[in-house]
Each structure stands twice: as structure tokens, then as C-alpha cells.
Structure 1
């Protein structure tokens, strides 16, 4: 009986070691490229019926795994151009650059389906703002970000299919003649699909 217990313990340690080795062999870094659909909430308190257009955008992210379950992800794109509308009519254009940093928990890091959740912070910089004379917006926005997704390994070493959904809080104050007339919150949901590579 004692020998059986020792054998079971040794087998357990070997199995655990193999799992750790498998995870370690993947490496701590992961990069992804996604096509993302930006669906704006367009919450407006100015009374002007402000909105920006929805669109597809490219997205790249870089993740670092501190443990098999815990990672940090930096999400990047280039400045995205949007039409700004009032009551459905285009009144100007702007660009926004929204880097986002999230902390993630990966539930099944060595499985065939690897779901994760994340939460973090977004910083958005508005630039190339072209609005009617006397109308302006604040150029900087800080807000929260929530994330849920899944990585599905493909039959190529380190490669995976990624599906990702984020809710990001992005807003700005709107001013006329230097006086605040309300706020405009884009607050998009971003639905993305792409490929990841772990190394």
C-alpha cells in the first residue's frame, strides 16, 4: 500500500511537471492581430444628437504571461478617423488613438479551449479635430475597459485563433465658445477576431 501511495505521488509530480513544462515551452509572450468592429454607444448630453460612425479597424496586442493564468495585455491601433454627426448630419471629423492596458486571467491555459477575462484602463487621445467654428472637445479621455475572450490552439506550434469582446469607456466634454455644453461618450463595444502567436 505504501509503495502504491509513493508511486501515485511520483506520477502526480511528473504529470504536474509535464504540464508546467508544456506551458513554459509556449514562452511568456503572445502577439495577436485582430480585425475589430467598433460599435459606438453614442451617449450625448448636449442635446445635439451627437454620434460617430461605426467601423472596422485593425488591432494589434502584446501580452506577457507572469504565470500560466495571469497576463497583461497592451492593445494598440493607429489613430482612427471618424465622422462626427449631429442629428444624423455630418458636422466634422476627428481621429482617436485608444491604447488600452488590461490584466487578464486565463482559465484553462493548456487546454484546447482557453477562455480569459480582463479588466484595465484606456487612454484616448483625440486629434485632427475639425468641427464648426467655436465648437471644441477635450483632447484626452481616461476610462475603464472590460474584456472577455477565448484562444483556440491551431495545429501549428504557438498559433491560435482568437475571439475577443471588449467594452471601453471613452468620453469627452463638448464646448461652445469656451463653455461646456455637455458631454459625449462614445463607449464602444469592440468585437474582434484574429490570430495569436505564443513564443
Structure 2
């Protein structure tokens, strides 16, 4: 009986099986709200272009190179933004912003809470641009964008493999918006993305 008690005590005191360690694949999914944070384009004599917030399903895929270093790819369902001119909708545009990040995880492989930071590159491609209301009869086009990206997040264990996640992203997105007959206008979107969801470790 004494031996059994010692074994139970040793199991309780042993490090948790939860780990982000070398060779692990981490999949995260949840809601991502993208909030543009840059300066819109100005159409002389007409007004100012702004891009509205949008929320979609986000997915990230990470691979742990070591117990502390990883790489991650961000994917999502297409974001659909209303473009406003003086607070009235004048265009609709969809985009996908895949980002590739190098990550550093704080703590060790037995930690149940793993904060992390990351930095990398973002490629944003725009599609299905269309004019609305005042620009309904005009073609609208947004040029694809390359830029840098940064993130910070935290994973918290629920079970040995399941964890909850929250993260914040910043993406450098600059595009040229061309409106038929009116011209081309440089627009800095530079969104902040907020993601909350669940993750699973393989």
C-alpha cells in the first residue's frame, strides 16, 4: 500500500505531459477580427476612403523546430471589407492575407502556459473588388501587397493535447486602389488582427 501511495505521489509531482516541444505540429482555429489601422486614400474634391472591420475564421499551422523556436503559417476564410467614402459605402473588396512567421516560445516544454512572439512576412491578395452606390458603375481594383508582420500570443493547456489560444497580429499592408476614371490612390491598411480560439497539438 505504501508503494502504491508513493507512485501516486510521484505521478502528481511529475511534470505535466502538456508540451510544445521539438517536432510538434500545432493547429489553432478561431475567430479573427481584422481592424484596419492605416490611412485611407483621398479622392481630390470627392472625399476620403476608409476600410471597415471584418471578422472571419482563422487557422494557423505551426511546427516546433526546437522546444522554443517554431514556424507558423496563418490562413483564414476570405475577409470582406466595406470601403467607405465620407462614411458612405462605395466599394466592397475581399482579400486573403497569408503570413509566414518565425516564433519564439517562452518557458519550457513542460509549461502549461506558453507565451510567444513572432515576426515574418505577409502577402495580401485582393479579389472581387466592386463599386457600390456612388461608384456602382465604375471598376475598382486593389493591387496585391507584400509587407512585414508581427504577432504576440499565448497558449494555455486544457488537456495534454488541447489548449486555448489568444493572439494579436499586425500586418503591413499597402495597396494602390484604382477607381475607373478617377485615378489611383495609395492606401495603407496596416490592420491589427485579434484571434481567440482553440488549438491541438499533434
If the length of structure 2 is used for normalisation, what is the TM-score?
Answer: 0.80
CA distance in 2, matches of 1:72, 1:172: 27
SS of equivalent residue, structure 1 residue 43? coil
CA deviations on 1:33-64 (whole Å, 9 max, x unpaired) are 02112111141242432112212211011000
Of 16, 31, 39, which residue of structure 1 is paired with 2:27?
Answer: 31
CA deviations on 1:127-157 (whole Å, 9 max, x unpaired) are 0011235553343111111100111111x22
Q: Does 1:164 align with 2:160?
A: no
Contact 1:46 1:181 in 2 (8 A): no
Contact 2:21 2:67 in 1 (8 A): no
Instruction: State the match for 1:75 in structure 2.
Output: 74
Comparing 176-185 with 156-165, greater Cα deviation is found at 176-185
Taking the TM superposition and a 5 Å limit, the aligned residue runs for 1:165-184 are: 165-177=168-180, 181-184=184-187
Post-superposition offset of 1:112: 2.3
Instruction: State the match for 2:42 in structure 1.
Output: 46
Contact 2:21 2:64 in 1 (8 A): no
Relative distance call for 1:73 and 1:24 in structure 2 (3 A) is closer
CA distance in 2, matches of 1:92, 1:129: 7
CA distance in 1, matches of 2:175, 2:112: 42
CA distance in 1, matches of 2:185, 2:72: 33
CA distance in 2, matches of 1:181, 1:24: 47
CA distance in 1, matches of 2:129, 2:154: 36
Contact 2:20 2:64 in 1 (8 A): no
Q: Does 1:93 align with 2:92?
A: yes
Relative distance call for 1:70 and 1:190 in structure 2 (3 A) is same
Q: What's the Cα RMSD here?
A: 2.4
Q: Does 1:144 align with 2:148?
A: yes
Relative distance call for 1:25 and 1:39 in structure 2 (3 A) is closer
4+ residue segments displaced more than 6 Å: none
CA distance in 2, matches of 1:24, 1:96: 32
Higher helix share: 1
Instruction: State the match for 2:6 in structure 1.
Output: none
SS of equivalent residue, structure 1 residue 41? coil
Of 185, 191, 197, which residue of structure 2 is paired with 1:194?
Answer: 197
Unaligned runs of 5+ in 2: 1-13
